[in-house]
Chain A
C-alpha cells in the first residue's frame, strides 16, 4: 500500500493524539474531581467498611486502608499516590470481591465508573490545586504553578463519551425502544410503591425510551464540541438527575456529574473560580 493511502487516516489520528497527549491547563477541575470522588467513595463504602463491620483481620485491614487513603485523597496529601492507592483498593473490591467472591453490588457499574475516575486521577496532577500538597509547597516558598499536563483529564472525558455511546448501543433494539425494558425496570422499582401508576404510562414509555437513546447518542459526541457544551452539559446533568430520582442508581449519577468537570475548559473554570472568590477585586480583600 502506498504511503499516500495512509494520509487521510493518519491526520485525524495525529490530531486526536495531539488533542489528548498535549493538553495543558489549570488543575483546578481535576482537584475538584478528586475531592468529589473521595466524598463519593466515602458515601458508597464508608458504612460497609467501618471497623465495626469487620469480621476478619483482612477486612479490618481493608477498612483501615480505606479510611486512611480516601482521607489523603480528600485533603490532597500525597494526592496522586493516595488516588493510586484508592484505585488499587477499588479494583480489588470490584474485580475480586465483586466479581470473584460475588459481594452484592461491588461488581456494579457505579463502582466501575468510580474506579475508572479515580484511576485516571492517579495519572493526573490532581494535587496541584486545593490540596495539602500545594499548601506545603507554598509554605516552603516553592513555585507551584497550577497549569500542568492534562492528558488524564482528556481520558476522563473520553470515558464519559464511551459510556454514553455503548449504553446507547445496548439500548438500540426493539425490546428497549418499544418501552418494554423501561416498563420492566419500573415494575422492579415501583410495584407496590406510590408511583406505581408510572407503569400505566402506556404509549409514553416508548417515547421516553426513544428520547433516552437519542440523548445518549447525542451526548457521546456532542460533549466534545465546545460551542455546543452550553446546551449539552445541562442536558446531560438533567438526564443524570432524572436517573437519580427515578431509579436506584446509587452513586452513579453523582459520579457522572462530578466527572463532567473534565468537560469544562480548565482555564475558563480557573478564571471563573478566581472571579467567584474575588481575586483581583480590591473590595473583596480583607
Chain B
C-alpha cells in the first residue's frame, strides 16, 4: 500500500494510507450525492436514504373555497378557516385534513356536530393535493360526502 504524507505544509506524525481516505471519501460522496435517487426517481423510499423534498407536503389536504350552511332561516357562507375555528391552518391536525373527498366531513366535524337538525352543510371549491388543486363540490358534507369525487386538476 502506498504511504504518503498529506501535505508538504503539514506532515502528520503518522503516515496514513492515502488510498483509505480516497475510498472513504468516494463511499461517502456516493451516499451523499446519489442517496436521494432511489426514492425521488424510482419511488423506492427508505428512511436511511433522505430525500430532499422540503415542503412538498405543506398545505396538502387543505381546502380553498366556501362552505355554506343551509339553515331554515337562510344560508350562511363560511370560509374553511371559519369552519375549523382555528387562528391558522398551521395548528390543524393532520387527521382533519382532506386527503379523500370523504374527509371533508372530518374537516368540518365541528359544524357537523353543531349544525342541528334541518341544517345542511355544502362545500364548493378545491383541495390541495400532491398534483395541484383538485376541484371538489360536496352537496351534503355531513351526510353524503362519501359519494363526492375530486374533479380534474387544473380545472
> Could you list which residues of chain A lie within 8 angstroms of chain B, going by C-beta atoms?
16-17, 20-22, 24, 95, 99, 107, 109, 112, 116, 145, 147-149, 151, 154-155, 158-159, 161-163, 166-167, 169-170, 174-175, 178, 180-181, 183-189, 191-193, 247-248, 252
B25 touches A185 (CB 8 A): no
5 nearest A-B residue pairs (beta carbon): A184-B59, A188-B59, A166-B52, A185-B58, A184-B128
Give chain B nearest CB distance to A16 CB in angstroms.
8
B28 touches A155 (CB 8 A): yes
B29 at the interface (CB under 8 A from A): yes
Give chain B nearest CB distance to A193 CB in angstroms.
6
Give chain B nearest CB distance to A229 CB in angstroms.
20
B3 at the interface (CB under 8 A from A): no
Stretch at the interface among B101-109, B111-119, B129-137, B144-152: B129-137
A167 touches B26 (CB 8 A): no
The answer, among B35, B55, B62, B131, for a CB contact under 8 Å with A175, is B131
Expressed in whole angstroms, the Cα–Cα distance for A158 and B132 within the complex equals 32
In B29-65, the 8 Å CB interface with A consists of 29, 32-33, 35-36, 40-41, 47-48, 50-56, 58-60, 62, 64
B74 at the interface (CB under 8 A from A): no
> 1/0 per position for B1-45, CB-CB distance to A under 8 A?
000001101100000001001101110110011011000110000
Number of residue pairs spanning A and B whose beta carbons lie under 8 angstroms apart = 128
B6 touches A24 (CB 8 A): yes
> Could you list which residues of chain B lie within 8 angstroms of chain A, going by C-beta atoms?
6-7, 9-10, 18, 21-22, 24-26, 28-29, 32-33, 35-36, 40-41, 47-48, 50-56, 58-60, 62, 64, 80-81, 86-90, 128, 130-133, 153-154
B89 touches A192 (CB 8 A): yes
Expressed in whole angstroms, the Cα–Cα distance for A186 and B59 within the complex equals 8
The 17 listed contacts between A and B (C-beta, < 8 Å) are A17-B25, A147-B7, A149-B7, A151-B21, A151-B25, A155-B25, A159-B32, A169-B40, A178-B154, A180-B133, A184-B60, A184-B62, A184-B133, A185-B55, A185-B59, A248-B90, A252-B54
Q: Which residues of A sit under 8 angstroms from B56, Cβ to Cβ?
A: 170, 181
B89 touches A188 (CB 8 A): yes
Expressed in whole angstroms, the Cα–Cα distance for A161 and B80 within the complex equals 39
Taking CB as reference atom, which chain B residue is nearest A190? B88
Q: Which residues of B sit under 8 angstroms from A112, Cβ to Cβ?
A: 50
B32 touches A158 (CB 8 A): yes
Expressed in whole angstroms, the Cα–Cα distance for A151 and B22 within the complex equals 9
Expressed in whole angstroms, the Cα–Cα distance for A172 and B69 within the complex equals 40
Known A-B contacts: A170-B51, A188-B59, A193-B88. Give 6 more (CB < 8 A). A109-B50, A149-B7, A151-B24, A184-B58, A184-B128, A185-B59
Expressed in whole angstroms, the Cα–Cα distance for A185 and B59 within the complex equals 5
B90 touches A170 (CB 8 A): no
Expressed in whole angstroms, the Cα–Cα distance for A48 and B26 within the complex equals 37
